[in-house]
Amino acid sequence: MKHLFVLSLITVFILSSFAVYAGVKCAALLNKPPKPVKKVAKEDLKVHNDYDKIVEEDDRDGIVYLALIGGDSPKPNDCGLIPSNPAAEWTGWGGPLNCDNCTIGEGVTTRNEIVIGGTYFPRGIGVHGTAKYVYDLTGGPAPYARFEGYVGMSDEKDPAGCDHGGSSGFVFKLDDKEVFKSETLKGSDGGINTAPLKVEFDIPANTKKLEIEITDGGDGISCDHSAFGDAKLLTAITAVEPADKLPAAWGKIKVSY
């Protein structure tokens, strides 16, 4: 009985040590957003940064968000994991990047919060193509098991930005091996806002780095205000949580049984 009590205390201590990673202590937006986000009943392509859907921050144990400024590497902190490659490679225009969870805006004093295709993301990364991020996966609180997130074009360029709100492609690699490549995504297509694209893939054991490339969509970088929404790494801790806190993909499998 005493042995079980001690084991329980150890388990609680281990799990609580991972909970801190869900806290948000990132680099805040330094300016008043010129295009503030606004919740509406139905988003309108002609309105900047209005949204009718939201992807809330994931507060499960063992979640590590990708960040740019307030995080750390290779061991993430409360904000998340930041890239290990030079900051000069993080954006093709509008730098230096100076806040987390914000768009590129029109430069350092014009950042906005992140909306992609009518969906608001409290956690995310705003950038301008072309760009590259390399994340060191060797220092996590537990082995990284999966990546989940969304990609697309920021709504701050809708509707008139370059006729379609810019365009970019997104390529994900693990240890230099391509694991996901999007088609060219536009801010809008045929007069309809382009919804954020879900990206998810498993991370094999002993993987050392995650690399993300943002392209110009093949038509130059003008208006390419690209964005990641809710981009996060799931650790082994997350994967073994109870069914009601499992990642969406596993939850769907369980429900179908």
Query: Per-residue pLDDT tens for 2-20?
Result: 444 434 433 333 333 333 3
Token pair of 165, please?
């709100």
Put simply, whether the predicted model's pTM sits higher than 0.75 gets the answer yes
At residue 54, the pLDDT reads 98
Q: Is 169's pLDDT higher than 60?
A: yes
Q: What DSSP element (H or E) covers 128?
A: strand 124-128
Mean pLDDT, all residues of the chain: 85
Q: What DSSP element (H or E) covers 149?
A: strand 144-153
Worst-scoring range by mean pLDDT, 70-79, 159-168, 223-232, 246-255?
A: 246-255
Q: Is 40's pLDDT higher than 80?
A: yes
Whole-angstrom CA distances from 220 to 88, 108, 167 are 19, 22, 9
Q: Do the Cβ atoms of 226 and 133 come closer than 8 Å?
A: no
Domain of 155?
A: 2-256
Rounded CA gap, 169 and 157, in Å? 16
Question: Token pair 């969870």 is at which residue?
Answer: 101
At residue 9, the pLDDT reads 39
Sequence-distant (≥ 6) Cβ neighbours of residue 96 within 8 angstroms: 87, 108
For 53-104, how does the pLDDT look when each residue is reduced to its tens digit (9 = 90+)?
999 999 999 999 999 999 999 999 999 999 999 999 999 999 999 999 999 9
For residues 118-123, give the mean pLDDT: 98
Q: Is 250's pLDDT higher than 90?
A: no
At residue 14, the pLDDT reads 35
Domain count, the chain: 1
Mapped onto helix, strand or coil, the DSSP state of residue 237 is helix
Nearest Cα to Cα of residue 182 among 205, 140, 153: 153
For residues 208-234, give the mean pLDDT: 95
Quote the radius of gyration of the chain (alpha carbons, Å).
19
CATH number assigned to the domain comprising residue 112 = 2.60.120.1060
Rounded CA gap, 257 and 119, in Å? 31
Share of the chain above pLDDT 90, in %: 73
When comparing pLDDT for 190 and 102, which is higher? 102
At residue 191, the pLDDT reads 86
Sequence-distant (≥ 6) Cβ neighbours of residue 227 within 8 angstroms: 103, 114, 116, 121, 124, 125, 126, 127, 151, 152, 153, 154
At residue 22, the pLDDT reads 41
Q: DSSP label at 161?
A: G
Worst-scoring range by mean pLDDT, 37-46, 157-166, 172-181, 238-247?
A: 238-247
Token pair of 56, please?
């809330």
At residue 239, the pLDDT reads 57
Q: Tell me the pLDDT band of 30, cut-offs 50, 70 and 90.
A: very high
